[in-house]
């Protein structure tokens, strides 16, 4: 299993602790590192109107793009419970927009790393920017 750098875990854990999840009581934190070495974090932000809830991965990606960066190097997602807290389908697609199929996605809990996948493992045969390239 590939070990993420300690900073990535620590930042994901700090984001996990900032989660606003009063309805589900299921906090999630995410930290991503860009190819230029910058870190961005996010936590899930729930809303009484459930469809307006934001995932941790979405908030981290939004911060990254807002800062003018668009290349994810690796991600660490922290959740709770016995099951792995992998990114939901919508977040897998969001990650795909800014990552490659080889991008590492580390999954853990508040104690540390539990599993590592590539984006290609989690989203095989994905639809991405290359699908929209026009041939000349």
- Which residues does residue 118 pair with via DSSP β-bridges, in sequence order? 104
* Alpha carbons within 13 A on the beta-carbon side of 24: 18
* H-helix segments, the chain: 6-17, 56-66, 89-98, 119-122
- Nearest residue to 72 via CA among 42, 107, 37: 37
- 10, 46, 57, 101: the catalytic one is 57
What is each CA distance from 66 to 33, 59, 63, 84, in whole angstroms? Answer: 15, 10, 5, 29
Q: Is 10 a catalytic residue?
A: no
Q: Which residues are known to be catalytic?
A: 57
């Amino acid at each position: 299993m590939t070990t993420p750098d300690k900073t990535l875990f620590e930042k994901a854990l700090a984001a996990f602790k900032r989660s606003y999840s009063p309805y589900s009581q299921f906090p999630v934190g995410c930290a991503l590192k860009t190819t230029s070495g910058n870190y961005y974090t996010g936590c899930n932000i729930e809303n009484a109107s459930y469809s307006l809830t934001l995932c941790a991965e979405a908030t981290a990606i939004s911060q990254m793009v807002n800062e003018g960066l668009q290349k994810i190097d690796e991600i660490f997602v922290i959740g709770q419970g016995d099951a792995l807290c992998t990114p939901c389908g919508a977040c897998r697609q969001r990650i795909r927009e800014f990552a490659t199929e080889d991008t590492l996605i580390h999954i853990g809990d508040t104690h540390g790393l539990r599993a590592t996948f590539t984006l290609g493992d989690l989203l095989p045969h994905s639809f991405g920017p290359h699908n929209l390239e026009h041939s000349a």
